[in-house]
Amino acid sequence: MPVANALASVVYGFFYGLWPIAWIIIAAVFVYKISVKTGQFDIIRSSILSITPDQRLQMLIVGFCFGAFLEGAAGFGAPVAITAALLVGLGFKPLYAAGLCLIVNTAPVAFGAMGIPILVAGQVTGIDSFEIGQMVGRQLPFMTIIVLFWIMAIMDGWRGIKETWPAVVVAGGSFAIAQYLSSNFIGPELPDIISSLVSLLCLTLFLKRWQPVRVFRFGDFGGVTG
């Protein structure tokens, strides 16, 4: 291939990939700003705080459950952009929130928006996309649990794991089971949406009955109050 064509392809690919992601991020920030200005974000924040004041568990609710739902519905950069903005409003530092959301998005990202990565993989390889989705759904449940414990360790170390493991098991376990069943018996389009809703429901109901002994909050200098 001529050098000029190769460079043109690189530039085209860069902007082709950048544009949809940048557009989603700009739109997400715009919606966040509007929600803050109109006072609607206060309603969202109070709703989350009514479930738990613990920021580790807020990460599970917003970053994991809601993020997985957005991954299944929209994909691209939407889950990280929107959930990170919500977490910033709940007291997380911006870069920290974005980093955590990127890590926790590992669990649902394989199925992407409406199963597009699986469907495309099937078209490219000639393998039935349903079979690819089945195999992915058999591997990811284990990764889901590991990632959630990893997030708790990043936020609060070994103590965080010991104090939040019941919630992690409920959120990750319900997500993993729903993901396995939906990917193996329904198809690759809906596992993220179904799993995230099941996980959110199970975790919310569980937190109505259980809360960690110590409430984890980021202090002004990265410490914890409780």
According to DSSP, residue 189 is labeled: S
Q: Burial, 206: exposed, middle or buried (Cβ in 10 Å; 0-12, 13-18, 19+)?
A: middle
Residue 225 three-state SS: strand
Q: What digits encode the pLDDT tens for the residues 22-63?
A: 666 676 667 777 877 888 778 877 888 889 999 999 999 999
Cα 224 from Cα 156, distance rounded (Å): 9
Quick one: pLDDT at residue 219? 66
Cα 124 from Cα 79, distance rounded (Å): 26
At residue 112, φ and ψ (nearest 5 deg) are 60, -160
Look-up: residue for tokens 């809703």? Answer: 197
Cα 119 from Cα 99, distance rounded (Å): 28
Quick one: pLDDT at residue 78? 76
pLDDT > 80? residue 86: yes
Tell whether the torsion through CA atoms of 89, 93, 94 and 97 is positive or negative: negative
pLDDT > 90? residue 137: no
Quick one: pLDDT at residue 30? 77
11: how many CB neighbours lie within 10 A of its CB?
A: 10
Quick one: pLDDT at residue 24? 62
Q: What is the 3-state secondary structure (H, E, C) of 162-176?
A: HHHHHHHHHHHHHHH
| 18 against 7, higher pLDDT | 7
Among 183, 181, 105, CA closest to 150: 105
At residue 141, φ and ψ (nearest 5 deg) are -55, -40
